[in-house]
Chain A
């Protein structure tokens, strides 16, 4: 039995796949924002350090 036929008969699994996709995309988005934020924080810390050294 192919995957298509299986999903056609048990549509709950179809919804399950959709829910998984939703969660995984939200998750990917959160990871990306986290990484970006970390980068920004590092950059800001670098600027601050440089200024302190100059003083």
Chain B
């Protein structure tokens, strides 16, 4: 089981590194969005609260443009049937989840660095709160968007459907994550945000378990 998950993950990683399609497009996407924000707010002083909301807007939309690729590309290349023959559905799911996790951590790392360099008002007082929110938020983001990517890969209008389906499902996560980033700017202690952390973590756990149970049905469709 573990070895086949690892094999799926390596396969995706290799085919990604060979073309670097998703990676390059995503990095450009992040640059474009951030410069868009900079142009839109040119010369204005933006408050930290607003900036932490905008950070998650950038993260959400870059995730939406990149994370569906793992499943959609299988569908486009017609390689679904080989994967179905080669291994169990749950192995495919966890392999793809792992790949998406790596992808989203990569994107978020880049987004945050770009954000710190460009946004002057973005000063974080408690880094532990910020990092905890970012890491757990990315975990939840990857978990929900992986299963929804599997759904939309089978639908007709893939591109537009993805954010439409993901947004309402992700909203409890996003609101909590935005709230945590705001708290980190205000300088809250990690202990105070325990409730938030619990929500983020239970969201991730619940979605992964449900996806694991439901993935068979989508995959065989």
- Chains A and B touch (C-beta atoms under 8 A apart): no
Query: What residues of chain B have their CB less than 8 Å away from a CB belonging to chain A?
Result: none
